[in-house]
Structure 1
Amino acid sequence: MPNSFGLNRTLGGAISVIAFVSVLSSSAVLLTRNQLQDATDALDRSTQVARGLDAFRTAMLNQETGLRGYLITGRESSLEPYKWGRPALDETITRLRTLIGNDAERSRLLADAVTAARAWQADIGETAIGDAANPATRPEAVRIEAEGRGKQFFDTLRGKLAAIDTLEEQTRAAQAVRVTQAERNENLALWGGTLLTLLICAAIGIAVNRLIVRPLVRVMGFVEHVGEGDLSGTLGEGGHNEIGRLGRSLNAMVAGLSDLARTNRIATSDLNAAAAEIRASAQEQAASVEQQFAAVQETAATMDQITQSGAQIGRRATEVIATAQATAQTSRQGLRAVSDTARAMEAIREQAEAVAGNIVSLSEKTQTIGDIIETVNDISERTHLLALNAA
């Protein structure tokens, strides 16, 4: 049996190709989107680190500003920026450590900056505030702030924070490039997948039109011609799918219908010939019936003649009876005239012979009538049989 590709396998293969391309395109888009998300997250994390570094500087500056204000004015209210800066610095350090994570270089730079900040808080801030609270030691507190040790700590932490900032700036630049590339890759994957899907759909549409739509149009045209009574056409080879098998089945069906129509035409011709023969036989039987009817009419005329002869015989018999009565009367009168009687007897004898001859003739005619009646009955039976045959 030849290898056949059914419509379900063709359409299933087409749908599978589209689904595969869609999955592949979606996977590529998801991959590039994940890359874009990773790059965006890294860029956002770097931005948060930069903001945390700014917050670190701001917290230290607030502490320094509060300390200087307190040393200058001596009022406790001037220490508020210093008091706000300490918890803000702690929170910022915790957030920066979380954002930097396991990065060794950034962690080392942050640790150095935190060490400098803690050293400033312990050696400069706390010491100066403690000395400034006592009027006797207040000049020492001012000296500690003014001698420049605090600036060294600030220079150290600023340098460390600037180094982290430089690294983050490089990271932001790299991540910006990565984001741009990821966006480009995502667009390429999206549009490439869409274009590839459209091309595959177009190819599948062309294949469906060539393998399904056009053969179906030919089959429908062929069926319309067959419906109009044209059994002379055939469908060409339609492949080994369902439409091809349908075409071959239609060809076989049309061939069978053509043979049946040919057989019907032959049977109709034979039936017409038989009908013509029956018509001719009926005409012959009708002519025979007419002949028989004419014979019956002749028989009826003969029977009329026989009836008339019987009437004449009856009249003659009546006359014989009258003559016999007259003879009897003449006999009773005597032998008045023997010679007349002898002549009368002779006449009677002659008449009796004539009557006997008439009676014999009547008997023969009666026999003839019986034969005619039998002939009529035979003709009637034959007529009845011919009528049945004609029916």
Structure 2
Amino acid sequence: MPNTFGLNRTLGGAIGVIALVSVLSSGAVLATRNQLQEATDALDRSTQVVRSLDAFRTAMLNQETGLRGYLITGRESSLEPYRAGRPALDETITRLTTLIGNDAERSRLLTDAVTAARAWQIDIGETAIREAANPATRPDAVRIEAEGRGKQFFDTLRGKLAAIDNLEERTRAEQVARVAKAQRDESFALWGGTLLTLLICAAIGVAINRLIVWPLVRVMSFVEHVGEGDLSGKLGDGGHNEIGRLGRSLNAMVSGLSDLAKTNRAATADLNAAAAEIRASAQEQAASVEQQFAAVQETAATMDQITQSGAQTARRATEVIATAQATAQTSRQGLRAVSDTAKAMDAIREQAEAVAGNIVSLSEKTQTIVDIIETVNDIWERTHLLALNAAIEAAAAGAAGAADRPSRGNGLLFRIALRGAGRVARAGHVEAG
């Protein structure tokens, strides 16, 4: 393969340049972002130091407030701010020591402030509380707090903490400036890398258009002319890349096609001469072919007759097959009807068995009803006898009272008794029925 500056190298180089610019811009952005993160961390640490200094002051003020309240009121509850301020101060000192770290000046100032705070706790706070616990020495405790030594300790620690505050304010200002500079550098690196990448992409687009697109357009136009049958054209020199090699290959192909077309035209002339000789020979053979054609027609007529006979036979066979299929269909329907009849008979047998069972059950219930009727008749007969007895007794009662009452009244009572007996008898008869 010849040594050419190929399209793969061109495109690979362009992609490599874009990748290099992207890596460089990303590295610059990361570097500035690390600077921004460091400045932000330092600013945050300085802010925490300032907050811890405020917590230091607050813890000491709480202790002083609790001590004064205890000295004024004498109540133990007044010491709660003092007692709460001591662990808060210890925690704040630990946090400040960690935040300040190895900074010599801040460590020295913090040590002086802690020394003053501890001195106040021991010389003023603890001593005053111990003396105030005894009523005899309570005035001494008040005098210790009022002498002003506590104020000296507070002035000392306030001054040291204020010095640390000033250092932290300068540090905060520096870190704010660093943050702003890092943000500007990050934006510059980001936008600069983006702009440079866009410029390189535009340059690569122009180069691709010049080295690839336009030559390909010329090649496609040449190929279209060749497809239309124009073999007279020729591509110019396309360079040493793949498109140039393609153009040279196409030129060689078109040259070969032109030579082949010339050869085909000569062969076509020879074929035309041979075709004329073949036509003359074919005309001579046409006469003999006509004679053979007549014999073939007679044979064809005979074959038509045979074909018609075969067709009639085929139709009859088709009719026989159709009749057999209809008979088979009728047989299948008969079998299905027999099967359905057998199923219906089975269903009727099952229903007859069910009806027989119901009849037996009704017979048993009828016998039960007969027994009940006999019992009712027996009860009716007894009731009838009771009714007759009641009527006889009523008649006897009416006869016995005839001596004391008029005859018309006795007859009325007798009729009433007979009616009552009759009603009882009829009622018993109706219930028995």
Please give the TM-score of this superposition, normalised by the length of structure 1: 0.69
1:34-53 equivalent positions in 2, closer than 5 A: 34-53=34-53
Separation of aligned partners in 1, 2:205 and 2:10: 12
Separation of aligned partners in 2, 1:3 and 1:146: 101
Give the structure 1 partner of residue 128 of structure 2: 128
Give the structure 2 partner of residue 25 of structure 1: 25
Separation of aligned partners in 1, 2:75 and 2:25: 69
Give the structure 1 partner of residue 181 of structure 2: 181
Report how far residue 100 of structure 1 moved. 0.7
Separation of aligned partners in 1, 2:276 and 2:56: 127
Which letter maps to 2:210?
A: R
Report how far residue 267 of structure 1 moved. 3.5
Aligned sequence identity (%): 85
1:130-145 equivalent positions in 2, closer than 5 A: 130-145=130-145
Report how far residue 269 of structure 1 moved. 4.2
* Pair member with larger Rg: 1
Separation of aligned partners in 1, 2:83 and 2:237: 95
Give the structure 1 partner of residue 86 of structure 2: 86
Separation of aligned partners in 2, 1:234 and 1:73: 116
Separation of aligned partners in 2, 1:10 and 1:277: 61
CA-atom RMSD in angstroms: 2.1
Report how far residue 182 of structure 1 moved. 0.5
Residue 48 of structure 1 aligns to a residue whose secondary structure is helix
Give the structure 1 partner of residue 358 of structure 2: none
Report how far residue 79 of structure 1 moved. 0.8
Which letter maps to 1:121?
A: Q
Report how far residue 233 of structure 1 moved. 1.1
1:293-308 equivalent positions in 2, closer than 5 A: none
Unaligned 5+ segments in structure 1 are: 287-391
Q: Deviations over 1:16-59 (max 9, x none)?
A: 11111111111111111111010000000000000000000011
Report how far residue 3 of structure 1 moved. 4.2
Separation of aligned partners in 2, 1:64 and 1:282: 141
Separation of aligned partners in 1, 2:275 and 2:24: 81
Give the structure 1 partner of residue 224 of structure 2: 224
1:338-377 equivalent positions in 2, closer than 5 A: none
Which letter maps to 1:69?
A: G
Report how far residue 276 of structure 1 moved. 9.5
Q: Deviations over 1:88-146 (max 9, x none)?
A: 11111111111111111111111111111111111111111111111111111111111
Q: Deviations over 1:340-375 (max 9, x none)?
A: xxxxxxxxxxxxxxxxxxxxxxxxxxxxxxxxxxxx
Give the structure 2 partner of residue 154 of structure 1: 154
Give the structure 2 partner of residue 373 of structure 1: none
- Number of residues paired by the alignment? 283
Separation of aligned partners in 2, 1:237 and 1:38: 60
Q: Deviations over 1:178-217 (max 9, x none)?
A: 0000011111111111111111111111111111122212
Give the structure 1 partner of residue 106 of structure 2: 106
Separation of aligned partners in 2, 1:8 and 1:140: 98
Greater relative contact order, per chain length (Cα 8 Å cut-off, separation 6+): 1
2:209 matches 1:209: yes
1:220-369 equivalent positions in 2, closer than 5 A: 220-269=220-269, 271-272=271-272, 274=273
Give the structure 1 partner of residue 57 of structure 2: 57
Report how far residue 264 of structure 1 moved. 2.2
Report how far residue 268 of structure 1 moved. 3.2
Residue 276 to residue 82, structure 1, CA distance change in 2 (3 Å): closer
Separation of aligned partners in 2, 1:63 and 1:170: 30
Separation of aligned partners in 2, 1:276 and 1:225: 33
Separation of aligned partners in 1, 2:37 and 2:71: 50
Give the structure 2 partner of residue 348 of structure 1: none
Farther off after superposition, 259-268 or 215-224: 259-268
Runs of 4+ in 1 over 2 A off after TM superposition: 262-272, 274-279
Separation of aligned partners in 2, 1:2 and 1:109: 79
Which letter maps to 1:225?
A: H
Separation of aligned partners in 2, 1:98 and 1:166: 19
Which letter maps to 1:25?
A: S
Residue 82 of structure 1 aligns to a residue whose secondary structure is helix
Separation of aligned partners in 2, 1:97 and 1:3: 71
Give the structure 1 partner of residue 168 of structure 2: 168
Separation of aligned partners in 1, 2:18 and 2:280: 79
Report how far residue 11 of structure 1 moved. 1.4
Which letter maps to 1:193?
A: G
Separation of aligned partners in 2, 1:235 and 1:138: 118
Which letter maps to 2:254?
A: V
Which letter maps to 1:202?
A: A
Report how far residue 266 of structure 1 moved. 3.5
Please give the TM-score of this superposition, normalised by the length of structure 2: 0.62
Separation of aligned partners in 2, 1:226 and 1:193: 48
Separation of aligned partners in 2, 1:105 and 1:116: 17
Separation of aligned partners in 1, 2:98 and 2:109: 14
Separation of aligned partners in 1, 2:4 and 2:111: 75
Q: Deviations over 1:145-182 (max 9, x none)?
A: 11111111111111110000000000000000000000
Separation of aligned partners in 2, 1:202 and 1:96: 56
Which letter maps to 1:12?
A: G
Report how far residue 275 of structure 1 moved. 5.1
Separation of aligned partners in 2, 1:197 and 1:259: 52
Which letter maps to 2:255?
A: A
